[in-house]
Structure 1
């Protein structure tokens, strides 16, 4: 069961744990190297894995936006509040002033826009306006 709690709170919590509890970890440090068929070595960094997780969570947020229930309104409001809190953190907290966090905030903004857009589109299907017959 998908709850009205925004799932993007998970990457936000992970970012804050990494940024505040392990300040020595650099977002550009490599986690793994993968040899590509072209001969190039692709280095996965901490920020690459983090952003992939964010996009994966965004997929589930978009799927949540397609459901029709009264809880979806609560979900949209909480997603908007989460975006505002993350934006304030980005602007005010020095540890949040990084590119991965800026992209997380952008993903949260996309979640808000997509959520409201999908809900409006679903609501338009339910409302049928017809012209009044001439009398």
Structure 2
């Protein structure tokens, strides 16, 4: 489970909802009242973006490990990015800004994962024994 890329959940959820219930992604799920008296409506796609951002933070934290599971996580995160990119380019229902931002999150996960792991490995190699 440690090697499972968490953003795959968001990509799979968005893909499934876009195919089965596209109205939910654009419909208001709940409204958040603000101190100013205004309200902030959250659509289904917005909710998935918030969940994706939270999971991206967890993924960056998990990237600090240099274990075999972390390396496998980086490879699987790359696969999730490729699948999400193909979905964006090929499926008409995915061609919107919300899913584009989810794809950018998967790309950020890949870049951050490999960058943090390489930096950690370099620091471990340069440390005197």
Pair in the same fold by TM > 0.5:
yes
* 2:60 is the alignment partner of 1:67: no
Structure 1, residues 69-93: CA drift from partner, whole Å, max 9, x if none?
A: 1222221111111101110110011
Question: What residue number does 2:4 align with?
Answer: 5
Answering whether residue 17 of structure 2 is matched by residue 28 of structure 1, we say no
What is the aligned residue count? Answer: 128
Q: TM-score, normalised by structure 1?
A: 0.86
Measured in 2, the distance between the counterparts of 1:88 and 1:17 equals 15
> CA–CA distance in 2 between the matches of 1:124 and 1:61?
20
2:112 to 106, 111, 114: 114
| 1:82 matches 2:104 | no
Q: Distance in 2 between matches of 1:127 and 1:6?
A: 27
Normalising by structure 2, we get a TM-score of: 0.90
Higher helix share: 2
How far did 1:105 drift? 0.3
With 103-112 and 47-56 compared, the bigger mean Cα shift is at 47-56
| Superposed CA offset, 1:30-70 (max 9, x none) | 12223221121221221221100101111121121111212
Partner in structure 1 of residue 16 of structure 2: 17
Question: What SS does structure 2 have at the residue aligned with 1:27?
Answer: helix
Contact 2:18/2:25, CA 8 A, preserved across alignment: no
Structure label with greater radius of gyration: 1
| Preserved contact between residue 14 and residue 45 of structure 2 (Cα < 8 Å) | no
CA RMSD for the aligned pairs?
Answer: 1.7
